[in-house]
Chains A and B, each alone.
Chain A
Amino acid sequence: MKLFSLQQNPDLFKPATEEEKSQQDVMSESVSFFKDGCRKLMKNPLAVFSIIVLAIIVLAIIFVPIFVPYEYDEMLSVNGKRDKGAKNLAPFTYSELEQEYIDNGGQRFPHIFGTDEQCRDYFIRVIYGTRVSLIVGIFASVIVLIIGVLYGAISGYVGGKADMIMMRIVDIIYALPDMIIIILLSVVFREIITFPSGSLLSRLGTNMVSLFIVYGLLYWVSMARQVRGQILSIKENEYILAAKAIGTKSGRIIKRHILPNCLSVIIISTALQVPSAIFTESYLSFVGLGVSAPMPSLGSLANAAREGLQSYPYKLIFPAIMICLIVLSLNLLGDGLRDAFDPKLKK
């Protein structure tokens, strides 16, 4: 007759202990916006893949020049004697002079990508070219980032007439043909500016400086527009009004309340700006307006390889693969960042 019994286990009706009570009001682990975004980014296989590729490339351009015993502008020589036979070598082959040297018991570092028509090791040139291209890309993006964010933030926050005027200036800049300005500026700069010899700028050449200047002058506009749009929507939030009611000054409101909230947009468009700058640089180098010789960049290497394309196709393939890898991984990383930091795509 257990079925009809009203007897209950009294243990079930004991008051909860302090420990059990505390279990009731456990909140989920505190997760900041950034940790959350990074966690989602790490779940995206394409983004992780591109991070790994970029990390390998960055490590390579930092450390490879230390291990490889050649210089990017060094014509090969064996025992102090110019090796004129080491011209246009295929990957992993040696010239006659080098072969002789190795046969006599000498050590010679292999030419992983072969050599170019001026007897220079091609591998180290590609590595230096990548270095130049990446530096140009990142530097140009930083210029765009600083100018675009400042301009967009002021325009969006101040609003009204100032916003109107600032955005019309942006519209005008949008209408200027960027390539022509880069070309004109580099022609002018070649005449009027000389950099102290040995500095990084002089090694990159006036063309690159004009590229940076043009980025500073023209390319920030899309960043400024995006930041302004973002700020216009953030400005409507009550926490901005609350900050004003507290007595917070405008500068602090922009710094503490508005910019942190449009950080995701800024990060993403910067990540996507780098490949665009690398492309511009490659393109300019390809048409002969890029870095000054002998400093290589991926674009100028590809341009130089054009002449012997049928005999030595690998000389075009290596820098082209490098450009593709960098641009593709940066684009994929940018996409991954957008997905990870866009609150509307929250899973």
Chain B
Amino acid sequence: MSDYLVEVEDLKMYYPVRAGFKTIPAKAVDGVSFKIKKGETLGLVGESGCGKTTVGRTMLHLYKPTGGRVIFDGEEVTEQNIHQMRKRMQMVFQDPYSSLNPRMTVEDIIGEPLDVHHLYANRNERRERILELMETVGLNAEHATRYAHEFSGGQRQRIGIARALAVKPDFIVCDEPVSALDVSIQAQVINMFEELQEKLGVTYLFIAHDLLVVHHISDRIAVMYLGHMVEIGDADEINNNPLHPYTQSLISAVPIPDPKIARAQKRIVLEGDVPSATNKPSGCPFRTRCRFATEQCAAERPELTDRGNGHLVACWNK
């Protein structure tokens, strides 16, 4: 029995894209591997369209993976056992406005996982469990009969979290759960995630594009670029000693509250746009925008290699 709860091995997810009469694959996720320990939070960062969300959704078989394996608690997740797995792996969605059905009351939204997995014996037990969940995420009992559109963004996200918690999962994929919220609400929700982890011992995969948020909540951070994992390591290590040029530029773009320090820092500005996922550059996916790119980068794709302390980087030059 390994101490890893989730192991992702060479996960691939290609979307078919029609180009005239041909169908070519858009390689949204192209061979990503990582492991998450029990009770740990892994932050997953990267810019828009780099495949973060796809990784999260493919892990839960919301999309059928093109290749690779997901091993959860020593057991491979397959089409056959996914229904049982969904009692242990859950997801919190990005947009609190579209992730709640406008025609359902809060009680029914939170109660749906209980209905689907038959987790109660009678109506009273169902109601009790729902109220308990609402209390866990800081909602009032009198909100149970209301509809989602009557709540603010933060409250809606709490409803979404309560829904994910209803089956008492061991692992939750948080897909940019705070990026649609106000900054003041973001802090509340993130603190709630941390409290829930302490109380329930859940493991998170925390997907975000805000490095500060990710650094705050994560034990380890993984950085993605164009469907590939480019760097993974301890949160502080990544923050203080980023090795991959892409991570370096990401870190340098984080706003610093102190103007004196901010002025002293040099921002690494990336040139150009992200290449298309249907037509990726040869070798290292980042080489078209990399300051250090050499001929080797164009010829061969670098693998993740250990630079000590579990800090893995995929780069030839660093």
Interface of A toward B, CB cutoff 8 Å: 27-28, 30-33, 237-239, 241-249, 252, 256-257, 260-261
Contact = CB atoms under 8 A, between A and B. Distances in A.
B145 A30 contact: yes
B91 A239 contact: no
B95 interface: yes
B103 A242 contact: no
Which of A27, A30, A239 is most buried by chain B, counting CB atoms within 10 A of its CB? Answer: A239
A245 B112 contact: no
Contacts, number: 70
A246 B94 CA distance: 16
Contact of B163 (A30, A31, A242): A242
Interface in B5-61: 57, 60
Contact of B150 (A27, A237, A245, A248): A27
B293 to A, nearest CB: 38
Interface string B71-93: 00000000000110011001101
Interface string B170-214: 000000000000000000000000000000000000000000000
Contacts of A32: 147
Given A243-B112, A245-B91, 8 more contacts: A33-B103, A238-B98, A239-B99, A242-B163, A246-B167, A248-B112, A256-B112, A261-B103
B146 A252 contact: no
A257 B99 CA distance: 11
A32 B82 CA distance: 34
A335 to B, nearest CB: 23
A245 B86 contact: yes
Nearest to B87: A247
Given A239-B98, A241-B93, A247 B145 contact: no
B86 A33 contact: no
A255 B194 CA distance: 36
A261 B163 contact: no
A246 B101 contact: no
Contacts of A239: 98-101
B150 A30 contact: yes
B104 interface: yes
Q: Is the interface of B mostly helix, strand, loop or mixed?
A: loop
B113 interface: yes
A241 B100 CA distance: 10
A243 B60 CA distance: 12
| 6 tightest A-B CB contacts, nearest first | A247-B86, A238-B99, A260-B103, A245-B91, A239-B101, A246-B113
13 contacts: A27-B150, A30-B147, A237-B99, A238-B98, A239-B99, A246-B86, A246-B113, A247-B82, A247-B86, A247-B116, A256-B101, A256-B112, A260-B101
Contacts of B104: 256-257, 260
A256 B112 CA distance: 10
B67 interface: no
Given A33-B102, A33-B103, A238-B98, A246 B163 contact: yes
A252 B100 CA distance: 16
B62 interface: yes
Contact of A245 (B62, B100, B102, B117): B62
B116 A242 contact: no
B103 A247 contact: no
Contacts of B167: 246
Nearest to A252: B116
Contacts of B83: 247
A347 to B, nearest CB: 15
Contacts of A256: 101, 104, 112
B285 interface: no
B296 to A, nearest CB: 41
A247 B150 CA distance: 26
Contacts of B112: 243, 246, 248, 256
Nearest to A239: B101
A238 B116 CA distance: 18
A200 B112 CA distance: 45
